[in-house]
């Protein structure tokens, strides 16, 4: 394909960063399942020497994700956690990070139980509240870490406002926008330095792979991330990259459907007499509903609490027939999770409850099945809760 000046999002999803394979013309980038590449003579190769360092299938995925985010550089990793860990490797001993208080449990665990041992420190604040971020800044703050929407309470941070603050204080701003994907939100356009994705979720989209990515428009950050990617070595395999490329081709179609299904499910749950609260950015009751409306999409994830706490939640989960009790989000299948014991089990109970992750809270990742079938399943399970 010749270079087009400006492509729309759907075109980027289908074709971004992809070219016919130079050896055969294959329209889909082949799975270059190789560890190494033969050199013609010392110092003379074809741009590849070892697959930890570079691999053509991985490069296609990296270009594709970068284009979707509107950045120049994408760096792919073996998991979302590997992408997060690599980005934290940009820091050095003694540095301080301000973090959204409602982050994915694995991010919290990495920061508190692994990276603190290496002399990094973290302050968790409600990043939907700008003054509380400003109060948390210290002389040694080098990074702000935003997760938006947050997991599992769907808090939405005003990234543009935070980015002004980050610039004022010369602090690197990182945003994990796994839940919204670049279909709804492109943080680089709002002034963020690095965007993080668990590509395990919507980007690959079919529960077929674990992966992660970091995207930046900054040459120095890219050079450093590339160095870390190669030095630490948490790279994705070529097959995993290929499966992710394939998934991304329908991202725009899936995200629209996830969004539409989720809005219907959220309205159903909100009107159900046995449901105590529903947290979904598309509902007017959501504290950042107007910000989400400006973003132009609400995503496919919500959390809710049936009446009756933990025992009702347990009965509800046991009674589901279609929706799967599974620890992930962002795939074609509707999945439910119990954050307190599953995704956020590594957060100390007192802190978890303070954050609002109660024992009865259920997270729902609405898939792209027929909305009527999802609602029917939730309805019959609520009747038994
Ligand atoms: C928002 C968010 N970021 C990062 C991760 C970690 O990604 P992975 O499971 O691919 O390592 C997750 C996983 O659930 C997540 O929800």
- CATH code: domain 251-384 is 3.90.1150.10
Residues carrying CATH 3.90.1150.10, the chain? 251-384
CB-ligand 1 contact for 80 (6 Å cutoff): yes
Structural contact between residues 193 and 216, judged by C-beta atoms closer than 8 angstroms: yes
Centroid of ligand 1 to alpha carbon of 176 (angstroms): 9
Q: Whose CA is nearest to atom 9 of ligand 1?
A: 80
Global confidence as pTM: 0.97
- CATH code: domain 9-248 is 3.40.640.10
Residues 219-261: tens digit of each pLDDT: 999 999 999 999 999 999 999 999 999 999 999 999 999 999 9
Residues 260-290: tens digit of each pLDDT: 999 999 999 999 999 999 999 999 999 999 9
Q: Whose CA is nearest to atom 3 of ligand 1?
A: 198
Residues carrying CATH 3.40.640.10, the chain? 9-248
Centroid of ligand 1 to alpha carbon of 59 (angstroms): 22
Token output for 46: 């074809």
Catalytic residues: 52, 104, 176, 201
Structural contact between residues 367 and 333, judged by C-beta atoms closer than 8 angstroms: yes
Residues 325-369: tens digit of each pLDDT: 999 999 999 999 999 999 898 889 998 999 899 999 999 999 999
Q: Which of 106, 180, 326 to mutate to test the pocket of ligand 1 (most atoms within 8 A of CB)?
A: 106
CB-ligand 1 contact for 105 (6 Å cutoff): no
Centroid of ligand 1 to alpha carbon of 371 (angstroms): 25
């Amino acid at each position: 394909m010749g270079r087009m000046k400006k492509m729309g999002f759907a075109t980027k999803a289908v074709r971004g960063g992809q070219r016919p394979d130079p050896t055969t013309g294959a329209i889909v980038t082949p799975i270059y399942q190789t560890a190494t590449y033969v050199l013609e003579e010392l110092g003379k190769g074809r741009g590849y020497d070892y697959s930890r360092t570079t691999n053509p299938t991985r490069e296609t995925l990296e270009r594709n994700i970068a284009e979707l985010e509107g950045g120049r550089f994408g760096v792919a990793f073996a998991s979302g956690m590997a992408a997060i860990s690599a980005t934290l490797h940009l820091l050095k001993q003694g540095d301080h990070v301000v973090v959204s208080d409602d982050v994915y449990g694995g991010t919290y665990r990495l920061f508190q139980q692994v990276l603190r041992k290496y002399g990094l420190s973290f302050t968790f604040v409600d990043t939907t509240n700008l003054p509380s971020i400003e109060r948390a800044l210290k002389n040694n703050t080098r990074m702000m870490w935003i997760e938006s929407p947050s997991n599992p309470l769907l808090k939405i941070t005003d990234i543009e406002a935070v980015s002004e603050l980050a610039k004022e204080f010369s602090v690197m701003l990182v945003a994990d926008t796994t839940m919204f994907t670049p279909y709804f939100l492109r943080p680089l356009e709002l002034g963020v330095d690095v965007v993080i994705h668990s590509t395990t979720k919507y980007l690959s989209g079919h529960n077929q792979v674990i992966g992660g990515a970091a995207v930046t428009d900054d040459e120095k950050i890219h050079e450093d991330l590339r160095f870390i990617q190669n030095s630490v070595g948490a790279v994705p395999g070529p097959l995993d990259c290929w499966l992710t490329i394939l998934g991304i081709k329908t991202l725009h179609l899936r995200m629209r459907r996830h969004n539409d299904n989720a809005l219907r499910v959220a309205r159903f749950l909100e009107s159900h007499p046995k449901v105590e609260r529903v947290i979904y950015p598309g509902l007017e009751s959501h504290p950042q509903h107007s910000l989400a409306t400006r973003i132009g999409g609400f995503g496919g994830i919500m959390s809710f609490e049936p009446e009756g706490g933990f025992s009702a939640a347990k009965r509800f989960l046991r009674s589901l027939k279609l929706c799967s009790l599974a620890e992930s989000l962002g795939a074609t299948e509707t999945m439910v999770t119990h954050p307190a014991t599953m995704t956020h089990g590594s957060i100390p109970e007192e802190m978890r409850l303070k954050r609002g992750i109660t024992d009865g809270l259920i997270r729902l990742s609405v898939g792209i099945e027929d909305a009527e079938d999802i609602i029917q399943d939730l309805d019959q399970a609520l009747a038994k809760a």
